[in-house]
Amino acid sequence: MLTEMAMVLADVKKATERKMEKSLEALKADLAKVRTGRAHTGLLDHVQVEYYGSLVPVNTVANVTLIDARTLGVQPWEKGMAAKVEKAIRDCDLGLNPASQGELIRVPMPPLTEARRRDLIKVVKGEAEGAKVAVRNLRRDANATLKEMLKNKECSEDDEHRAQDEVQKLTDRYVVEIDKLLSHKETELMAI
């Protein structure tokens, strides 16, 4: 019974760690999309456009291509969507100024001025904060599972406290990793 209980507690910790690792990987992918002055098709992935009453990513209603190193091309699949896509790109937090040319929307990448770099840093900080919130939510879920196990007498109070301490250490470790990624990306964005 004792080893079985220890295995269940270890499983909770392993599952939490796996989920925290996924949050960290998602942050790495999101930060990789924030480019320093070069056009990249993934740059518009988080831009939401209204499509028949619901918000969807631009790349689900349009083809996003690279015209040249500093310009994206966005070709909506439906003619009526061009104005909505253009407005969504203009209103997003990336500071882009799209221009329609017939059915094609050209999105030139603005040069990275000091203000533009600071705007991108705000975006990056928002992504990092979102990852921290995800990690903290995973900690909360793990702690709730542990409390439920204690309530159902599946573990002792000491084991539950020990497991909560381990989950807290995991949380602290991943928050530090997120801060390191954020610091590295800020340095990269501010480099001229």
The CATH code of the domain that includes 46 is 3.30.1360.40
pLDDT at residue 145, rounded to an integer: 92
Residues whose CB falls within 8 Å of the CB of residue 111, separated by 6 or more in sequence, listed in order:
37
Q: What is the pLDDT of residue 171?
A: 94
Q: State pLDDT tens for residues 124-170.
A: 898 899 999 999 999 999 999 999 988 988 888 888 899 999 999 99
Of the chain, the end-to-end C-alpha distance in Å amounts to 61
What's the whole-number mean pLDDT along residues 2-27?
84
Put simply, whether the predicted model's pTM sits higher than 0.85 gets the answer: no
State the average pLDDT for the chain: 85
Q: In terms of DSSP H, where are the helices of the chain?
A: 2-33, 82-91, 114-151, 157-190
Name, in order, each residue with C-beta under 8 angstroms of 167's C-beta and a sequence gap of 6 or more: 12, 13, 16, 139, 142, 143, 146
* 19 and 69 assigned to the same domain: no
Number of domains forming the structure of the chain: 2
What pLDDT is attached to residue 1? 45
Q: Are 76 and 62 in contact (CB under 8 A)?
A: yes
Q: What range defines the domain where residue 72 resides?
A: 41-108
Cβ 81 vs Cβ 46: under 8 Å: no
Res 143: pLDDT: 92
Residue 105 has pLDDT above 50, yes or no: yes
Looking at the fold, whether 122 and 153 belong to one and the same domain comes out as yes
Instruction: Say how far apart CA 134 and CA 148 lie, in whole Å.
Output: 21
Mean pLDDT value across residues 11-39: 83
Q: Are residues 118 and 185 in the same domain?
A: yes
